[in-house]
Amino acid sequence: MNEAAGMNLSAGQPGRMRLSRAEHRRLHRKARIRRELTGWMFLGPMFACFVVFLVIPVAGTVWWSTRSGSIFGGTKFVGLRNFIELPGTVGAWPAIENTLVFALLSVPLILIGALGIALVLARVEHGASVYRFLVYFPVLVPGVVAALIWLFLTNIDFGLFNDVIRFFGGMPVTWLGADSALTVLAILDVWRNVGYWAMFFVAAIIGLPQELYQAAELDGASVLARFRYLTLPLLRRIVFFAVIVSTIWGLQVFDTALVLTNGGPGTATTTVIYRVWLYVFGSNNKVGFASAISLVLIVAILALTLVQMWLLRDRRGRD
């Protein structure tokens, strides 16, 4: 070996490889194992929590959805029967319907409202921080507390809404009646979430290239035209992201429905997660249905997540 090196001593000529392939492979593997172990020391603790309390429960939902019985013990395998019987099971279909209607009502109102507020707030020259503080404040209210507050707004006798109506000479309204409760719940959600998305849009609007707007103004584009042909197209991805995420959040509504209306009147505001909770803890033989309907929700959320990842894939791919 040294001979080979010696032969190449002339004028900056390198020698040949001196370790055997097998030796290289061994050392290579050793270095690599060391690197992988380092990586797992960093990732491991969080990843363990992720697997135990998220991945396994998601898989567990599939397993539970094939069982019949109670969560407190004594279940048996029933195959796909839970799914087949789910549409006829008490309360299952209204829960899905209520949840969808809730999302369809609240999401557009939240996003249109938020976009409107953001367009104004992004251009305000003085005092923007005060408005931001106030607009954002409802976002920090826990659902339970928000519902409690809305009990004071919607009360027939002394609620703020009816006080206002009475002030203008109208008749008091039953806000939490069977026909209107779900809508009120959706409006509550608008009140609670509009600030979140407004701030999100403000950040996006402030980040838009200012030169484009100056150019458009020189071209004589009106405020509306600028919104229609500049802001909206430029915010397309942002708005799309907001639609998906706020829909996913809308599908999870539970605490406000529990505290404001107890899921009622009847089942008027019983949502999917509310129903899951009732199946598990309000009955002794419906844990399978609870899991089946949970699985429907999980699949819907995963589908929305994947659609979003797919449609926004360009940026993601670049890290």
Segment 55-114, which members bind another protein (CB under 8 A)? 55-58, 60-61, 63-64, 71
Q: Is 236 in the site for another protein (CB under 8 A)?
A: no
**Angle at Cα 85 formed by Cα 82 and Cα 89, nearest 5°?**
105
Which residues contact residue 223 at a Cβ distance below 8 angstroms, ignoring those fewer than 6 apart?
A: none
User: Site for another protein (CB under 8 A): how many residues?
Assistant: 122
Residue 195 has which token pair?
């600030």
Calpha distance 245→305 (Å, rounded): 8
Residue number, 118 or 182, with CB nearest to another protein: 118
**Residue of the chain from 84, 185, 203, 264 that contacts another protein (CB under 8 A):** 203
**Between 105 and 187, whose beta carbon lies closer to another protein?**
187
Q: How far is the CB of 308 from another protein (least distance, A)?
A: 9
**Is 124 in a helix, a strand, or coil?**
coil
Closest of 283, 276, 278, 289 to residue 84, by C-alpha: 289
Q: Does 217 bind another protein (CB under 8 A)?
A: no
Looking only at residues 267 through 296 of this chain, which bind another protein when binding is defined by CB under 8 A? 273, 276-277, 280-281, 287, 290-291, 294
Q: Can you name the residues that pair with 256 across neighbouring β-strands?
A: none
- 8-47 mask for another protein (x: CB under 8 A)? xx--xxxxxxxx---xx--xx-xxx--xx-xxxxxx-xxx
239 touches another protein by CB under 8 A: no
Residue among 84, 112, 134, 178 that touches another protein (CB under 8 A): 134
Verify binding: residue 7, another protein, rule CB under 8 A: no
Answer yes or no: are the C-beta atoms of 270 and 94 closer than 8 Å. yes
By CB under 8 A, name the one of 245, 264, 265, 283 that touches another protein: 245
How many other C-beta atoms are found inside a 10 Å radius of the C-beta of residue 237? 15
* Residue 3 backbone dihedrals phi, psi, to 5 degrees: -60, -45
H-helix or E-strand spanning residue 174:
none
Amino acid at 221: A
- Does 133 engage in binding with another protein (CB under 8 A)? yes
Q: How far apart are CA 166 and CA 183, in angstroms?
A: 21
Using the rule CB under 8 A, which residue among 105, 107, 110, 204 binds another protein?
A: 204
State which residue, 100 or 312, has the beta carbon closest to another protein. Answer: 312
The minimum distance between CB 41 and another protein, in angstroms, equals 8
Two structure tokens written together for 157: 């006798």
